[in-house]
Every structure is written in C-alpha cells, then in structure tokens.
A and B are shown apart, each in its own frame.
Chain A
C-alpha cells in the first residue's frame, strides 16, 4: 500500500451497533487524525494522536474512541452508533511537526439508521 487507506469504503449501520473504522498509513508519520465531514460544517476533528501510544480529544469526541497501538494504525470506534453520527469520516496523517501538511485517506461514508 502507498499512503493512507481506510476501510470500509461505506457502511450502513443500525443504531445501537458498535462499529470500528480502520485507518492505516505506510508513511511512518507520527501524527494521525480522525475528522468527520458534514455539509456546511467542513471538517471537524474527532480525535488525534501525536505519536504511537498517545491520543487526544478533538472538537467533537463524544461517542467516539480511538487507540494508537503502533505507528501505522489508528482505528476509530463508535461504541453505540446514533443517527447523528451519519457522516463521511476521513483519517489523516502528518509528519508531526507544526508545519507539515496532512495527508488524507479516501474516507468512509457511514449511515446510521
């Protein structure tokens, strides 16, 4: 693989179900991020990780959790999905310094019914 990948591409989920969105990068980037994109609201940061073993809360963390067991993987878990979590989710990574661009994955379109 080259760059950053996400799985699944899309998913329809019943409310109350647990779901994990996967994100893997092969660029050895220290920092990784999860965003959700909703019409008219742009990209909002859910959680981030500056380096393996550490995570932090972003702007809209409620209902989501993350882990960073190694450099490459940064899964996002919805413990009990609700319809308001219907969105497009993007994972991104960067070299970790303040002035590095972020590289985005192709996104996961999630619908919670």
Chain B
C-alpha cells in the first residue's frame, strides 16, 4: 500500500488566502521531493528537501522537512489562480525510487 500519506485530498481556496498540504511517511526518508501537476499536464519537479528540519522557499511557497525526516509540508501564501493544480509529495528511501502521496488538488475561487 501507499507508504506516503498526503492530506487533504482536495483544497478549495479563496484567492488571496493561504493553505497548507501535509505529507507523512511511515518510514524515515532520505529525501522528499514536491511536484506540481497542472490540469491535463504531467508532474513537474518543484523542490527537494534533504536535511532534517530543512526549510526552503520559492516565492510564495514554503517547504519544510520534519526533524525526524518522516513528514513534510507545503505552505502557499496569498493563493493565486496560477496555483491551481495537484501537488504531490514523493519520498525517497535511499533506493532511487520515489513513493508518491495521493496528491492535494487545489482549486481557487476568484
């Protein structure tokens, strides 16, 4: 079964609001990656976190990796219509393979 759990499955956001999606693994990860898939498109790499407690920012997106390297989060501030899509976390356990979460599908109300 899926070893990386991601919540929520759906997120309906008013434009300008913030939201967070969470990712939890049953095992310790060597790194975690985040991908974005626009409707009808393919997943596109956003970022990779490697170190325990690591925090990285990309403009309005903030990514965190937990101290135990089992959880991660993506926080988006001031949501825009360009943020629409599905965000996936993907954990890697040191075997070159990724285990993807089910994704959070984001819709934005203008």
A residues whose Cβ falls under 8 Å from a Cβ of B: 31, 33, 35, 40-45, 48, 50, 58-59, 90, 92, 94, 96-99, 101-107
Asked if residues A45 and B98 are in contact (CB atoms below 8 Å), the reply is yes
Binding site for A on B (CB under 8 A): 2, 6, 9, 30-31, 33, 41-45, 48, 50, 88, 90, 92, 94, 96-103
| Residue pair B102, A90 in contact (C-beta under 8 Å) | no
Supplied contacts A43-B100, A59-B99, A98-B30, 17 more A-B pairs, CB within 8 Å: A31-B96, A33-B97, A35-B100, A41-B102, A42-B2, A42-B88, A42-B101, A45-B99, A48-B96, A48-B97, A58-B97, A98-B92, A98-B94, A101-B45, A102-B33, A104-B44, A106-B42
A105 CA to B103 CA, complexed, in Å: 18
Can you report 5 A-B residue pairs in the complex whose CB atoms are below 8 A from each other?
A: A45-B97, A45-B99, A59-B99, A90-B43, A98-B92
Closest CB-CB distance, B61 to chain A, in whole Å? 16
Cβ–Cβ < 8 Å partners of A45 in chain B: 97-99
